[in-house]
């Protein structure tokens, strides 16, 4: 199973930049989208269906044009869960899960800490999602949580490790991500590439992408039960529909 995660920074904008052609060429079995910034009714969903994804699910923020996640599947999942049931998280449309027989896949968009109020919200979300994921694994042990975590874990994951006072690389955020992994997850990319320095997000400022001054803030986190099933994990920086690029994990199920 090939799973791709992609923060598209607006699905409608991405469509105008050739997203459908790219999707068909990439050919994942499941793609988790973050930051769609759209409600399903604002889109012509036949575009996704004609591209080979007849099963598409959308969980959008109450506020239009904001946040929101989606998952497209080639095969129909046996169950779909919209949100987490935690109101403080769900009103911003940040979690969506599809369950198959052998694995469950979640698209997650963890908040960014752009100011003090949002940073407080981010820390609250981090606490709640860790508790939620820990509970969830009791009934769904084979779980992949894909998405934009908005945190660089280690110094190798950021072009300038001196940026310790910036949200996304705060010591508390990095510590939390370590705690999340230690609760029973594997960072699939780092697991297979312990020394590789690649990024999944670049600022639009100062030619950051051209100069590869990036951050690795997108992850395909795989539960330890699937450790021996991880066959490939890689980043796709050549896809340029967003300030993020897609990341992929392949599982031998």
Say how far apart CA 241 and CA 116 lie, in whole Å: 29
Whose CA is closest to 105, among 183, 32, 10? 32
Helix 171-182 vs helix 116-139: crossing angle, to nearest 10: 0
Residues 6+ positions from 39 with CB-CB distance below 8 Å: 58, 60, 64, 68
> How distant, in Å, are the alpha carbons of 100, 179, 223 from that of 169?
34, 15, 24
Are the C-beta atoms of residues 31 and 72 closer than 8 Å to each other? yes
Q: Is 21 a catalytic residue?
A: no
Catalytic residue among 148, 157, 187, 218: 148
Strand partners, 2: 250
Say how far apart CA 24 and CA 51 lie, in whole Å: 6
| Residue positions annotated with a catalytic role | 148
């Amino acid at each position: 199973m090939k799973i791709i995660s992609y923060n598209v920074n607006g699905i409608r904008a991405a469509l105008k930049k050739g997203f459908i052609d790219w999707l068909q060429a990439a050919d994942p079995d499941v793609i988790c989208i973050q930051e769609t910034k759209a409600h399903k009714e604002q889109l012509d969903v036949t575009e996704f269906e004609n591209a080979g994804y007849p099963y598409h699910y959308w969980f959008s923020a109450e506020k239009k044009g904001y946040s929101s996640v989606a998952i497209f599947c080639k095969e129909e999942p046996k169950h779909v869960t919209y949100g987490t049931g935690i109101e403080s998280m769900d009103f911003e449309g940040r979690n969506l899960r599809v369950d198959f027989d052998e694995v469950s896949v979640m698209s997650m968009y963890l908040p960014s800490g752009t100011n003090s109020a949002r940073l407080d919200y981010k820390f609250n979300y981090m606490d709640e999602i860790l508790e939620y994921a820990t509970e969830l694994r009791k009934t769904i042990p084979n779980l992949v949580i894909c998405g934009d975590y908005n945190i660089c874990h280690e110094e190798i994951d950021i072009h300038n490790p001196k940026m310790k006072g910036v949200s996304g690389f705060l010591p508390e955020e990095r510590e939390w991500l370590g705690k999340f992994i230690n609760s029973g997850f594997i960072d699939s990319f780092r697991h297979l590439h312990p020394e590789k320095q690649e990024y999944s997000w670049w600022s639009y400022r100062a030619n950051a992408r051209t100069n590869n001054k990036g951050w690795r803030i997108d992850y395909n986190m795989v539960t330890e039960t699937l450790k021996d099933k991880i066959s490939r994990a890689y980043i796709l920086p050549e896809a340029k529909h967003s300030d993020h690029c897609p990341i992929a994990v392949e599982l031998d199920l």
